[in-house]
Amino acid sequence: MNVGFIGLGIMGRPMSKNLLKAGHEVVVFGRKQHIVDELIAVGARSAASPREVAEQVEVVITMLPNSPEVKEVVLGENGIIAGAKAGSVVIDMSSISPLVSREISEELLQRGVEMLDAPVSGGESKAIDGTLSVMVGGKNEVFEKYYDLLKAMAASVVRTGEIGAGNVTKLANQVIIALYIAGMSEAMVLATKVGVDPELVYKAIKGGLAGSPALDAKVPQMLDRKFNPGFRIKLMSKDLSNALDTAHGIGASLPLTASVMEMMQALKVGGLGDLDHAALVRYYEMLAQVEVKRSLHPDPTK
């Protein structure tokens, strides 16, 4: 299949590589030439604009930071809409406002172009190994046609409703993850402050009800003080902002989400917005004046 891919950041670069590995022809557009060159070296072709990408393919995938960037790439001057043919499809895998997804879809439909909103969860590691979770909104017939394409990048691909439903699902996902990271941060800081080894606490609880893939992914990062981004605090903050805006628009209240949003805002103001969201633990560490890390003492369980 001829596929366009626009947005070659932490997630988009490995996702486009997985499409190439699956045998698809991929045309890419990105602002960092060294990444474009890297993809060309493994079989991709490049285009000079989103419009030129759309002119060459039947489906264009976008993986961009937020709603304004998606609107500009899809609907802006020299955007996808200017080059897309009737019958082609845009699959936006960014995490954006559900209302913006619907707005973009309505504009595309006037040109005969269908759209799926298909945000992902899993972070950089799962983007690399092709085991992302994809939550999709859009027409069922379009979803079924491009299901196998999405599976080339993911372990799980689930349609949750009409256009916009994918991003509603992603917002729910992000709320859960953000609150979970906040909870594990509180727990690890509590253990450290009391004087109990947080690594042993983690080992003790991970097999019980508190255990999860998120716990296994994020607590070791905290213990190793490795906060290089799989998913940046500033992007999680953006997602929580979208969740709160959506909730306020329908008359719902998300008090816990609002609290974590403020914590992340404080870290952003403190210059930590480009760290992984596991660095939320540093907010609690500042309050408690401790640092969660691996003990230098031998592990008595070994």
Helix 255-269 / helix 233-250 crossing angle, nearest 10 deg: 150
Task: Return the amino acid letter for 239.
Answer: D
- Quote the CA–CA distance of 232 and 217 in Å, as a whole number: 15
Which of 17, 126, 170, 218 is catalytic? The answer is: 170
Task: Measure CA 105 to chain center.
Answer: 20
Backbone angles phi, psi at 12, to 5 degrees: -65, -35
17 is catalytic: no
Pairing label, strands 114-117, 89-92: parallel
- Quote the CA–CA distance of 52 and 45 in Å, as a whole number: 11
Q: What is the 3-state secondary structure (H, E, C) of 235-278?
A: HHHHHHHHHHHHHHHHCCCCHHHHHHHHHHHHHHHCCCCCCEHH
Residue 232 half-sphere exposure, CB side, CA atoms within 13 Å? 12
**Angle at Cα 174 formed by Cα 255 and Cα 187, nearest 5°?**
70
Active site residues: 170
